[in-house]
Structure 1
Amino acid sequence: MDEKRLIEQKIFNDTSAYNDIMNIPYHQSKRHLPMNQLDRAFQFAPFGALEGFNDLINEKTEFYSRKKYTTSADEQIIMRQLKYLRTHPLKVDVNYFNDESGYYEHFKGFLKKINWTKGRATFDELSVAILNIRSIKLIEKKL
């Protein structure tokens, strides 16, 4: 046997630390029946809820791998544009990251409201996180 196996055998097969309890007879409760195997397995059922968690994380990671994060300068520009649009109702083209699809999308419409505490802007029927907005462009009126 090599040295590693000898060390493992000594560590895992040495039961001398438990000699004081090795020969104590098993005490079966007179009040409680022994738990059957199915009930014993149910004790660990809450951990089964985490089974699909890694798949969900991997799926969201794939979505966000396509996201381009804005710089602080770009964020300041977007904030100024949103503040301006609050008082000037103009039709704009919003390029934003859609959390549901994992892609950038365009939406053309008017700014309806801004919820600064939640960090969301509502354009017509679309509510989008302000940090997901890549750009806001004015749609020029054609005469």
Structure 2
Amino acid sequence: MDEKRLIEQKIFNDTSTYNDIMNVPYHQSKRHLPMNQLDRAFQFAPFGALEGFNDLIQEKTELYERKKYTTSETELTIERQLKYLQAHSLKVDVNYFNDESGYYEHFKGYLKSLDWKKGRADFDELSVAILNIRSIKLIKK
């Protein structure tokens, strides 16, 4: 036998440290009924709470397959446009990625507020992540 197997056998097969409790009879509680096997199985399934999590990730991945990520130049342009719109109340056409539907959509309206910390721009009836904005165009009257 090689040295690795000897060490494994000593670590995992040596039960001599448990000799003091090996022959102790099982204590049946007088206060509590024994747990049925199904409940016992659930007790030892700690990752059962994550069931369906992979499906949720796959669903979101499919939604984001159509998203085109902007370049840093485009992000700077959108940032400048949003700062300008903060100072000037102008009607704009916003092309943005809707992460609920997984498609690009248009919205026409006025900028109400910006939250740079949260990365969100609030328009009339729409709150959108700034990184989901693809373009902002001024609507001429």
**Normalising TM by the smaller chain, what interval?**
0.7 to 0.9
CA distance in 2 between counterparts of 1:64 and 1:85 reads 28
How big is the shift at 1:112? 0.8
Closer/same/farther in 2, CA of residues 26 and 61 from structure 1, 3 Å limit: farther
Gaps of 5+ in 2: none
How big is the shift at 1:50? 1.2
Q: Which of structure 1's runs of 4+ aligned residues deviate more than 6 A?
A: none
What is the percent sequence identity of the aligned residues? 72
Q: Name which of structure 1's ranges 99-108 and 43-52 shifts more when overlaid on structure 2.
A: 43-52
How big is the shift at 1:69? 0.7
Count of residue pairs the alignment pairs up: 128
Gaps of 5+ in 1: 1-9
Q: Deviations over 1:56-100 (max 9, x none)?
A: 000000111111111111100000000001111111100000010
Equivalent residue, structure 2, for 1:29: 27
In structure 2, give the amino acid aligned to 1:90: L
Closer/same/farther in 2, CA of residues 34 and 18 from structure 1, 3 Å limit: farther
Equivalent residue, structure 2, for 1:39: 39
TM-score (norm 2): 0.78
Equivalent residue, structure 2, for 1:17: 13
CA distance in 1 between counterparts of 2:118 and 2:139 reads 27
Equivalent residue, structure 2, for 1:51: 51
Equivalent residue, structure 2, for 1:3: none
The RMSD of aligned alpha carbons is: 2.5
Q: How does 1:75-86 map to 2 (within 5 A)?
A: 75-86=75-86
